[in-house]
Amino acid sequence: MLEGRALTVRRSTPRLWLSASWLALISLAAIFAPLVAPHDPLAQDLFAARLPPAWAEGADPAYLLGTDSLGRDVLTRIIFGARIALTVALVAGLATAIIGSTLGLLAGYLRGWVDLVISRIVDIWLAFPPVLFAILLIAVLGTGLSSIIIAIIVIDWTRFCRVVRAEALNQSAMDYVTSAKVAGRTRLSTMWREIGPNVLPTICVLLTIEMGIAVIVEAILSFVNLSISTDAPTWGGMIAEGRTSIHQAWWVLVFPLIVLFLTVLSFSQLGEGLKDRFDPVLR
Amino acid sequence: MNLVRIIIVRLATTIVTLLGAAVIVFFVIRVVPGNPIAMMLPPGATDADIARLTALYGLDKSIPEQFVIWLTRALQGDFGTSISLRQPVMPLVLGRLPATLELSIFALVLAVMIGGTMALTGTRFRGTRTEAGIDVANGVGLSIPDFLWALVLILLFGVLVPVFYVSGRISPSLDLPFVTQFYVFESLVRLRFDLWWDLLKHMFMPALALAIPLAAIIGQLLKQSLKETMHLDYVVLARTKGYGENHVILFEALRNAVLPTLTLVGVQFTFLIGGTVIIERLFSYEGLGNMAIDAVINRDLPLIQGIVIVFALLFTVINLVVDMTYAFLNPRLRHA
């Protein structure tokens, strides 16, 4: 058993760094998109439609990863797509974490009818297929960046709520919580100052995983054409377009897919790596 | 006594959940912008036409009134008429449900087979490079959701090496003798193995995409429990009796290690079914999920309601069955 643990720790370090570096690269590209992107993400050039990547035959070296059916540069759209994907990941991830964790803390620590009500709502939420729920919410809210973020928050708060509630239930039974009560702290102050910091590592791990999920949800919604405008450079929108022209222009699907794959993998591996770091048994 | 109480409480919460789901779906859908009635009529329809059709679909009453009428009818199995397809909702939904169920069950079987093989192989070769490789594969399988696996599979086996179908449920050129919508099951009963094989070839890619994340979860959890079981006295005893490693794992350790995985599979199965919504879309598979996305795009309120309620019913029933099975299998509850 001990060797197994040592192995996990050794393996987790490069994993942590690799995923963090990829996410840093993508973030930098997103922040400095207008500076690093070689073209305009919306500029169409029908004379340069479906050009293959620069190293293939018949390519134009000005378009490193080729162009789509409207002659838009694939690399540029991937870079600008990172802006939308990471904005959704950050804003939706954080908001989901805050709302879900607060409700989970309240349910797990206060128990009683608060727990009963919150747990029933979580049960109801689990009865819906999340993708269908998301699509339905977008139909209600209308397309656009803020609608996507709201839809993710509305659907995914239960993920944090369930885990944090269970953790808070465990922590409440511990001696330090009892001593905080004996020392005369109020219930809310105990919850925030004593239990809160102890569930924070768990929340951080969940948050990185949630950010990966948010990127995927955005891609799925763009894929069914319900994300932002059809013109906007989103990874999911590019994949949807690439899916239809897969036999004529594979690069329109393949490059955004690789970037999306690596980004989601990195978020999740970062979470796993952090879990190993935080876990006192492993440390 | 204890068990009976647990069952009653569990049934009550199931009913509360379903009722809550019905309320939420009903009210969320009422705030959908856009007038579905206006979309149904040809341009140039008079106000009187609109009013007549609105009354026909009951959309002229107040929202609480509409809810009571809708719920009463829904309890009798009447979910109204689809606005875009102009047919009763329930037969439409029930016509598509078998396709989704067959896909989900096939995916579950694949997940158990792949995950089980990974866990057993990893246990058999523990501490070697094989186990390390399986751990990495499980890690990647877990991190990437079904939507991305589907795209990867379409690219690899639909385009690069086109060996599997990546679109539809069955080849359109085939003559279909089916009377039910359970094509896979019925083709077996009719001994039409040609149709059965065609169906399986269509289902394989979408089912695999759905199965990979679950297979990784099963692989990880089952391997963990097997590892713990391998150190128990009775397993050590079996080994000292001279049984080979394969026999010990398959016939001694597996039996005791499998229960935690089984409970998890039950819960995860609902997530897998939820995944069919987008996977069916990607593979143009004629199931309930594909119909649901069309219904949302067409603002077909009665159809959306019917589909979401059927999904909710399916999910809560599966969760109920899993919990009940667990309660019956758990000796502490059974003998209390």
User: Looking at the complex, does the CB of residue B304 fall below 8 Å from at least one CB of chain A?
Assistant: yes
Instruction: Please give the tally of structural domains in chain B.
Output: 1
Would you call A126 and B319 a contact, using CB atoms and an 8 Å cutoff?
A: yes
Scanning B14-33 for CB atoms below 8 A from A yields: 16-18, 20-21, 24, 28-29, 31-33
Q: What is the DSSP letter of B253?
A: I
ipTM associated with this complex: 0.85
* A142 interaction partners in chain B (CB closer than 8 Å): 33
CA distance B64 to B66: 5
| A239 closest CB neighbour out of B21, B151, B289 | B151
Residue in chain B lying closest to A116 (CA): B13
* Intra-chain end-to-end CA distance of chain B, in Å: 7
| B140 closest CB neighbour out of A137, A219, A265 | A265
Would you call A127 and B282 a contact, using CB atoms and an 8 Å cutoff?
A: no
pLDDT at position A252 is 86
In a domain, B18, yes or no: no
User: Looking at the complex, does the CB of residue B77 fall below 8 Å from at least one CB of chain A?
Assistant: no
In a domain, B63, yes or no: no
The answer to whether B300 and B29 are in contact (CB under 8 A) is no
CA distance A181 to A157: 29
Domain that residue B159 falls in: 97-297
Would you call B139 and A253 a contact, using CB atoms and an 8 Å cutoff?
A: no
pLDDT at position B335 is 60
User: Looking at the complex, does the CB of residue B161 fall below 8 Å from at least one CB of chain A?
Assistant: no
The single residue listed with the structure tokens 């309120």 is: B301
In a domain, B201, yes or no: yes
- Read off the pLDDT of residues B243-252 as tens digits, 9 standing for 90 and up: 888 887 887 7
Q: Tell me which of A154-168, A203-217, B174-188 is least confident.
A: B174-188
In a domain, B189, yes or no: yes
In a domain, B88, yes or no: no
In a domain, B290, yes or no: yes
CA–CA distances in Å: residue A6 to residues A11, A63, A146, A233, A270: 9, 46, 44, 44, 19
Is residue A1's pLDDT more than 50? no
Distance from CA of A178 to the nearest CA of B (A): 30
Domain ranges of chain A: 2-278
Would you call B296 and A246 a contact, using CB atoms and an 8 Å cutoff?
A: no
pLDDT at position A172 is 78
CA distance A86 to A97: 16
Residue B112 neighbours by CB under 8 Å, 6+ apart: B215, B218, B265
Chain A interface with B: residues with Cβ < 8 Å:
3, 7, 120-121, 123-124, 126-132, 135-137, 139-140, 142, 212-213, 216, 219-220, 223-224, 239, 243, 246-247, 250, 253-254, 257, 260-261, 264-265, 268-269, 272
Q: Which residue has the higher pLDDT, B323 or A116?
A: A116
In a domain, B321, yes or no: no
The mean pLDDT of chain A is 83
| A129 closest CB neighbour out of B28, B143, B311 | B311
Would you call A216 and B148 a contact, using CB atoms and an 8 Å cutoff?
A: yes
Would you call B299 and A139 a contact, using CB atoms and an 8 Å cutoff?
A: yes
Within B57-128, residue ranges assigned H as helices are 63-75, 89-124
Is residue A103's pLDDT more than 90? yes
Is residue A283's pLDDT more than 70? no
pLDDT level of residue A21 (50, 70, 90 thresholds): very high
Nearest C-alpha neighbor of B253 from the set B116, B155, B115, B85: B116
A2-278: which CATH topology? MetI-like fold (1.10.3720)
Distance from CA of A180 to the nearest CA of B (A): 35
Would you call B312 and A140 a contact, using CB atoms and an 8 Å cutoff?
A: no
CA distance A28 to A215: 17
pLDDT at position A179 is 77
The answer to whether A19 and A265 are in contact (CB under 8 A) is yes
pLDDT at position A3 is 43
pLDDT at position B34 is 62
Low-confidence ranges of chain B (pLDDT < 50): none
pLDDT at position B253 is 80
- Read off the pLDDT of residues B242-279 as tens digits, 9 standing for 90 and up: 788 888 788 778 877 887 888 788 888 999 999 999 99
Q: What is the DSSP letter of B81?
A: B
Q: Which residue has the higher pLDDT, A104 or B243?
A: A104
- Read off the pLDDT of residues A249-275 as tens digits, 9 standing for 90 and up: 888 889 999 999 999 999 988 888 887
Would you call A260 and B148 a contact, using CB atoms and an 8 Å cutoff?
A: yes
CA distance B259 to B251: 15
Q: Which of B26, B84, B129, B148 is the best substitution to test chain A (most A C-beta atoms within 10 A)?
A: B148
Q: Which residue has the higher pLDDT, A199 or A118?
A: A118
Is residue A181's pLDDT more than 80? no
pLDDT at position A228 is 66
Q: Which two tokens stand for residue A262?
A: 């690596």
Element (H, E) at B293: helix B288-297
Q: Please tell me the pTM assigned to this model.
A: 0.87
Q: Tell me which of A16-25, A197-206, B2-11, B116-125 is least confident.
A: B2-11
Q: How distant is the alpha carbon of residue B250 from its chain centre?
A: 29
Would you call B278 and A224 a contact, using CB atoms and an 8 Å cutoff?
A: yes
Mean pLDDT along residues A79-89: 92
Residues A37-60: b if buried by 16+ CB within 10 A, e if exposed: bebebeeebeebebbbbeeeeebe
Would you call B293 and A224 a contact, using CB atoms and an 8 Å cutoff?
A: yes
CATH of the domain at B223: 1.10.3720.10
In a domain, B268, yes or no: yes
Would you call A220 and B147 a contact, using CB atoms and an 8 Å cutoff?
A: yes
Mean pLDDT along residues A236-255: 85
Q: Which of B27, B104, B143 is the best substitution to test chain A (most A C-beta atoms within 10 A)?
A: B143
User: Looking at the complex, does the CB of residue B232 fall below 8 Å from at least one CB of chain A?
Assistant: no
